[in-house]
Structure 1
Amino acid sequence: MRPSPRRLPALLLGTALLAGVLGIGTIASAAGPGGDAPATAVPAAAGHSGHTKAVSTQASGDDPDGDGYIPAVPRVTGVTPSHATPPPRYFHEFQANCSVTHTAPDDPIVHPGRPGRSHDHTFMGNTSTRADSTTASLYGGGTTCKAPADASAYWMPSLYKGDRKVLPIGPQVIYYKAGVTDYTSVRPFPKGLRFVVGDPAQSADQFRDHPGWVEGFECGDSYKNTDFPPNCPTGTQLNLRMQAPSCWDGRYLDTPDHQSHMAYPVVKPGTNDDVCPAGHPVALPMIEFKMAWPVDGDMSQVRLASGRGHSFHYDFFNAWEERTLKALVDHCVVGGLQCDARGYDETHPERGAALDAQYRLP
């Protein structure tokens, strides 16, 4: 099974992903700090709240000089994209089941240290996430994820029906899966990595063509919608799946546009294999949001805090305890299993679980 239904050709990755998805006409290539690696510079979009095409210019706890670049320490060097083809496995994933914690007009990635600057977000995972959250403040914190070691912050624009805010109920499914054919090459996220998936300024066509698109909004028998369906049968719920980029440049935990340090896998020419592009050679888990909102009936008054349905986007800020994340990645992703939040695959009980009954390392 292909882990990503939408894949961009290598030639179009840098241009289409950032110019098309973000809806900008010009992308300038600029050297990152120290002049070592090209980084994408995205022009500012004045006056937009929430996620924007603007680069971060304000200082924060993780970025004291406010230039938008947060270096990885140490950097990952000497890695080339893996073109190996391991034994076929239909699944190579585990779940992070995390419930909603709170909502707030905050965004510690796009607007660090500026409470109230963003449109409203629905937060999951770490219970303390706020505008001034940093790697240090999140790490080891309380969480609504089943695995206590997952103090990561996950968030997305809040959904409304009229003036009523509609929150997902119970643990939401956040997959960690292989985005490349060589699932054995996937390694854990570096501590403090963060990124934004999608953009609220994207058009319906850009949302549909986004490499993270899976099936759009769906309810009942209505699928592949770029906006909310006009009606959802009574008793159903609104669902959406969207995948994140899973190839990392190995250099930065964040960049000014919060995206260019990450890339989606591309198709190896002459094959059906998904590989990381040369500029982003480090294969990380591919996060997939699988969200469910308890809303049905007439959907004409349903909207996101960021706008129409095609403005959907989400954020990830890694604060996993390193040993636990590695155990789950190694056992489930590298091991070619379909795991739950314990790292257990019920179709392969002989392989055991990565975590104990309390979702902790044994």
Structure 2
Amino acid sequence: MKWNSAATLALLAPSNVLALLRFPCAQLVIDRLDPLVNPGQAPSPHLHQILGGNAFNTTMDPSKDMPKESTCTSCQFSEDFSNYWTAVLYFKAKNGTYKRVPQIPNSGFEGVNGGMTVYYMQDGLYNFQQTSKVTAFKPGFRMYIGDVNARTKEQMEKFRQLTYTCLENINTRDPQTLDFPTKPCKTGIMTALRFPTCWDGKNLDSPDHMAHMAYPESGTFESGGPCPASHPVRMPQLFYEVIWDTSKFNNKADWPADGSQPFVWSFGDGTGYANHAGDYLFGWQDDSLQRAMDSPCYQNCPTLKTQNAQAMNKCTVKRRVNEDIDSWVKELPGGHQANYRK
């Protein structure tokens, strides 16, 4: 199954573009921590790549003021001390060993250390004017998207628009698929991760970290679909793009002998359907995100303070869990093996 998408934003955006908050975040740390799903656990069950404010820790107490706890951020906008994280991609070789796949910066963000591209949008990718009004996330807000146990298309389709793109070059955006590409990808694999956009207006979190948010009642955020009555507050579209440099693993002689695709998520999913999309902890300083949503801009925003790639790359934290994440290993961190069935 394939999704249609917007073509490369950097190429198609009109010269007088007014809006589309799009920015890079460098890698803060790669660690086996997940304070949203597994608070207090070190190590958490599987490995994550984490970005944003350096106050990131094993618990992330929601009663604390995250912006004031952090002293730096790995994101371009220096008022954004939020934390963003996803699972990590691995390559499984024919001999059964695994190697972590590194990340590379998106088009236009050269010099940023891995990480990913983050979007906050009022009207979706196609509308560069971004004229709709949205309510920014509130202090203490957090959410999660994905299902680590999904192994079929039917199981993952409740999460809309979690996709993969096999990159011919850094600007490739189509076609998008719901499962892993089955052929070598010249430049890498991009995962596109779109969060739900309708809030219940009351809860900053929920037991599963998803129920306080919902997708539009019909259509999509991009098509202007209305929010359901249970979740009436329209919030920004939070959207991650992560580019995994799978090009170093394109020699099919190293792929599994049966010809199956060789990539697996750090929690063991080898189908791609689990696409453990992402976790989000809001941490913008004061009303900076709402200001940006009310005064739309594209990348360079006069209402926000911007830092360069050197400053982003400098903001890191020491790993809490001491384990080998760079060598070839016989099992994924946490003892996982590639799993193709639920």
What range is the shorter-chain TM-score in? 0.5 to 0.7
Query: With structure 2 as the length reference, what TM-score do the two structures score?
Result: 0.66
- CA shift, 1:179, in A, is 5.3
Counterpart among 27, 32, 36 of residue 100 in structure 1: 27
Q: Deviations over 1:186-245 (max 9, x none)?
A: 0111011111112112233136634531643423388333332233244x1111212101
Q: Deviations over 1:260-287 (max 9, x none)?
A: 000112238xxx6411111111111110
1:192 is matched with which residue?
A: 140
- Cα distance in 2, alignment partners of residues 273 and 301 from structure 1: 38
The verdict on how the C-alpha distance between 1:358 and 1:230 changes in structure 2, with shifts beyond 3 A counting, is: closer
1:245 is matched with which residue?
A: 196
- CA shift, 1:183, in A, is 5.1
Quick check: 1:228 aligned with 2:180?
Answer: yes
Q: Deviations over 1:329-360 (max 9, x none)?
A: 1111xxxx5x11x32xxxxxxxxx3235648x
2:57 is matched with which residue?
A: 130
- CA shift, 1:178, in A, is 2.1
- Cα distance in 1, alignment partners of residues 59 and 224 from structure 2: 40
Aligned-partner residue type, residue 255 of structure 1: S
Given that residues 32 and 48 in structure 2 are in contact (C-alpha distance below 8 angstroms), is that contact kept between their aligned partners in structure 1? yes
- CA shift, 1:118, in A, is 2.5
Q: Deviations over 1:35-60 (max 9, x none)?
A: xxxxxxxxxxxxxxxxxxxxxxxxxx
2:119 is matched with which residue?
A: 175
Counterpart among 73, 80, 89 of residue 159 in structure 1: 89
- Cα distance in 1, alignment partners of residues 155 and 239 from structure 2: 15
Given that residues 96 and 176 in structure 1 are in contact (C-alpha distance below 8 angstroms), is that contact kept between their aligned partners in structure 2? no
Q: Structure 2: 5+ residue runs without aligned partners?
A: 6-16, 93-97, 105-111, 256-260, 309-342
- Cα distance in 1, alignment partners of residues 131 and 234 from structure 2: 9
Task: Look up the SS of the partner of 2:273 in the other structure.
Answer: helix
2:279 is matched with which residue?
A: 315
1:110 is matched with which residue?
A: 37
- Cα distance in 2, alignment partners of residues 244 and 91 from structure 1: 23
- Cα distance in 2, alignment partners of residues 267 and 101 from structure 1: 37
- CA shift, 1:99, in A, is 1.3
- CA shift, 1:104, in A, is 1.6
Given that residues 156 and 274 in structure 2 are in contact (C-alpha distance below 8 angstroms), is that contact kept between their aligned partners in structure 1? no
Aligned-partner residue type, residue 196 of structure 1: Y
Counterpart among 76, 83, 87 of residue 146 in structure 1: 76
- Cα distance in 2, alignment partners of residues 233 and 216 from structure 1: 11
Aligned-partner residue type, residue 139 of structure 1: P
Structure showing greater relative contact order (alpha-carbon pairs closer than 8 Å, 6 or more residues apart): 2
- Cα distance in 2, alignment partners of residues 101 and 289 from structure 1: 16
The verdict on how the C-alpha distance between 1:179 and 1:259 changes in structure 2, with shifts beyond 3 A counting, is: farther
Task: Look up the SS of the partner of 1:252 in the other structure.
Answer: coil
- Percent of aligned positions with the same letter in both sequences? 24
- CA shift, 1:185, in A, is 2.9
Instruction: Give every structure 1 segment of 4 or more consecutive aligned residues whose post-TM-superposition deviation is greater than 6 Å.
Output: none
Quick check: 1:354 aligned with 2:275?
Answer: no
Aligned length, in residue pairs: 254
The verdict on how the C-alpha distance between 1:106 and 1:161 changes in structure 2, with shifts beyond 3 A counting, is: same
- Cα distance in 1, alignment partners of residues 306 and 84 from structure 2: 24
Task: Look up the SS of the partner of 1:326 in the other structure.
Answer: helix
Query: With structure 1 as the length reference, what TM-score do the two structures score?
Result: 0.63
- Cα distance in 2, alignment partners of residues 114 and 208 from structure 1: 26
Q: Structure 1: 5+ residue runs without aligned partners?
A: 6-89, 344-352
The verdict on how the C-alpha distance between 1:167 and 1:137 changes in structure 2, with shifts beyond 3 A counting, is: farther
Aligned-partner residue type, residue 101 of structure 1: L
Aligned-partner residue type, residue 273 of structure 2: H
Task: Look up the SS of the partner of 1:206 in the other structure.
Answer: helix
